[in-house]
Amino acid sequence: MEKKITRQTTIQEIFDRYPDKAYHLAMIMADAGLHCVGCHASVFESLEQGMLAHGMTDEQIDPLIEQLNSEIESTKPAISLTEKAAEKVREIQKSARRENWGLQINLDSGNRAEFNLKQNPSAGENEIDANGIRIFISSEMLGKITGSEIDYVEGEKSGFKLVKAAAA
C-alpha cells in the first residue's frame, strides 16, 4: 500500500488534500508536539522539516506519519446524518421539487447550525455524502463540526439539530 502522506509532504498539502479530516489531522500533529500547524512556515515545510526544526528525532517521524495515514484511511465520516434526518431532507427535497439538491450547512455568529437546500456546492465548499444526502460545507465550517451528527427532532422546536461528537 502506497502511503498518501510522506516525510516530504508539506503540512499545507496535508490540509489541502484532506479538508474533511483536517481537524483530526491537526490534533494528531499537535499531540505529537508539532505546533506549527497554521504557522506561515508550514506552507513550505515538509512534515520532516517541521518535526526536525522543532527538535524531534528522526525516529519520531515515521510513527506520526503512520498515525496520519491511518486517520486519512479511516472510514469515519466527517459528518453523519441520522436516517430520520435523511428521510426529512428527502421529504423537503420532494415537496420543493429539488430532489437532486444537497443540504448546505453554515454556522451563524453564535455557532448555531443553519441548513439550506442548494443545487451545487460553491467554490471552496466540500461535498460529503452522508446517508445518501449530499452535504455542502466550507473547510472552515467542516473543521469546527467534524465528527458531528445531524438529526431531525420533532416537537415544539422541530428542526435539524447538529450534535457535536464527544472528543475521542
Residue 139 CA to residue 41 CA, distance in Å, equals 20
Domains of the chain and CATH, by start: 11-73 (no CATH), 79-163 (2.60.300.12)
Q: Could you tell me which of 50, 47, 82 has the C-alpha nearest to residue 68? A: 47
Residue 62 CB neighbour total at 10 angstroms = 11
Distance between CA 168 and CA 134 in Å, rounded? Answer: 26
What is the residue type of 136?
A: F
| Beta carbons within 8 Å of 6's beta carbon, 6+ residues apart | 47, 65
**Nearest residue to 142 (alpha-carbon basis) of 48, 35, 26, 53:** 26
Position 139, amino acid:
S
Per residue of the chain (168 residues), what is the pLDDT tens digit? 456 899 999 888 887 888 777 777 888 888 888 775 556 656 778 889 888 888 888 899 999 999 999 988 876 777 889 999 999 999 999 999 999 999 999 988 887 889 999 999 998 888 888 889 999 998 888 878 888 899 999 988 899 998 875 444
pLDDT at 103: 94
State the pLDDT at residue 27: 80
H-type helices in the chain, by residue range? Answer: 11-17, 22-31, 47-53, 58-73, 83-95, 139-145
User: Residue 134 has which C-alpha cell?
Assistant: 449530499
Beta bridge partners of 163: 149
Alpha-carbon separation of residue 5 from 2, 45, 86 (angstroms): 9, 14, 34
Distance CA 50, CA 58 (A): 11
